[in-house]
Amino acid sequence: MKERKVGEVFEADGIRLKVKKGRCPSWHFYPNSLHCIDYKFRMKVGLCSGEEREDYEDIIFKKVK
């Protein structure tokens, strides 16, 4: 699975996202952020848990314009 770099901006399913450092609090959508998103979408955007990532950083995917 792809590992996105902190600061990277990309598009998935028509949603423009930026990778930011942050802890995933649960498996839900939050206003303007995607925290630990559902598995199908997660396969498109990449890993968010520091336990799964090579850089050991917890990240979130922030919606951007």
For residue 9, the 8-state DSSP code is E
| Cα–Cα distance list, 54 to 3, 13, 21, 57 (Å) | 8, 25, 14, 8
Taking only Cα atoms into account, the Rg of the chain, rounded to an integer number of angstroms, comes to: 10
Please tell me the predicted confidence (pLDDT) of residue 9.
95
Domain residue ranges in the chain: 9-63
9 and 64 in contact (C-beta within 8 Å)?
yes
> What is the chain's length?
65
Nearest residue to 35 via CA among 14, 60, 56, 8: 60
Please tell me the predicted confidence (pLDDT) of residue 38.
60
What pLDDT, in 10s, does the model give residues 6-62? 999 999 888 898 999 987 654 444 444 554 556 677 777 888 888 888 999 988 888
